[in-house]
C-alpha cells in the first residue's frame, strides 16, 4: 500500500469546492484512494459526504492511501489537489 502525508492547503479546508475537486479527481482514478486524519478513520475519496465529514481544516495533515499498479500516480494527483490553495 502506498501512502502520502500532506497538509490541506485550502483555507476553508476540505469543504465545498476543494472537496468537490478531490472527489471528482478521485472518481477518475483507476485505483481506490482513501483519506483520513493521522490516526483517524480512513474514508473513500470518492464520497463527498465522507470527505466533508472528515472536518479537515486548512493546515491539518491528512493521509492518502492507495493500492494497485497506478497507486503512486493517483496519490500524486490527489495530493496536489489537497495541498492547493483553491482561492480559499
- Active-site residues, by number, are 15
* Sign of the C-alpha dihedral computed for residues 58, 12, 82 and 33 taken in this order: positive
- Residue 32, strand partner residues: none
Burial of 12 from C-beta contacts in 10 A (0-12 / 13-18 / 19+): middle
Amino acid at each position: 500500500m502506498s501512502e502520502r502525508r500532506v497538509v490541506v492547503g485550502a483555507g476553508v479546508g476540505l469543504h465545498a469546492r476543494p472537496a468537490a475537486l478531490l472527489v471528482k479527481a478521485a472518481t477518475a482514478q483507476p485505483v481506490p484512494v482513501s483519506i483520513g486524519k493521522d490516526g483517524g478513520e480512513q474514508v473513500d475519496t470518492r464520497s463527498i459526504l465522507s470527505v466533508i465529514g472528515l472536518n479537515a481544516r486548512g493546515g491539518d495533515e491528512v493521509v492518502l492511501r492507495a493500492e494497485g499498479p497506478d497507486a503512486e500516480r493517483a496519490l500524486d494527483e490527489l495530493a496536489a489537489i489537497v495541498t492547493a490553495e483553491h482561492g480559499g
